[in-house]
Amino acid sequence: MKQVSLILRYNKTVKLDVLLSENCVIKDIIISGDFFAYPEDAIERLESRIRECSSRVCIEEAFKELVNTTILGVNVEDLKNRVILLLEDCKKSQNNS
């Protein structure tokens, strides 16, 4: 398992903690910070959808969960791309091993 933590700074701060399996499956993800989301359970639903993702398509589908969500101070598109990049970096390092 590989644990990755990122601090992303937008108007608000977002901490992204991702646990990836040896075969590059997102086993756990926690998105936290000093931002506000409405509805309040939107981030928890997103985290739940991302768990077990192993592809860009899966992550993109998970982020569609936020279509009717307001998140103040966070660039959601950049956040999505960061999660995708973590997954792709894992796969690259796996292929180089």
* CATH number assigned to the domain comprising residue 88: 3.30.390.50
pLDDT tens digits, one per residue of 22-72:
999 999 999 999 999 999 999 999 999 999 999 999 999 999 989 999 999
Provide the token pair at 22: 């040896």
Side chain identity at 61, as an amino acid letter?
Answer: E
- What's the domain range around 72? 2-95
Residue 51 gets which letter from DSSP?
T
Domain total of the chain = 1
CB 9 within 8 A of CB 15: no
> pTM, whole model, 2 decimals?
0.90
The residue written with tokens 């928890």 in the block is: 44
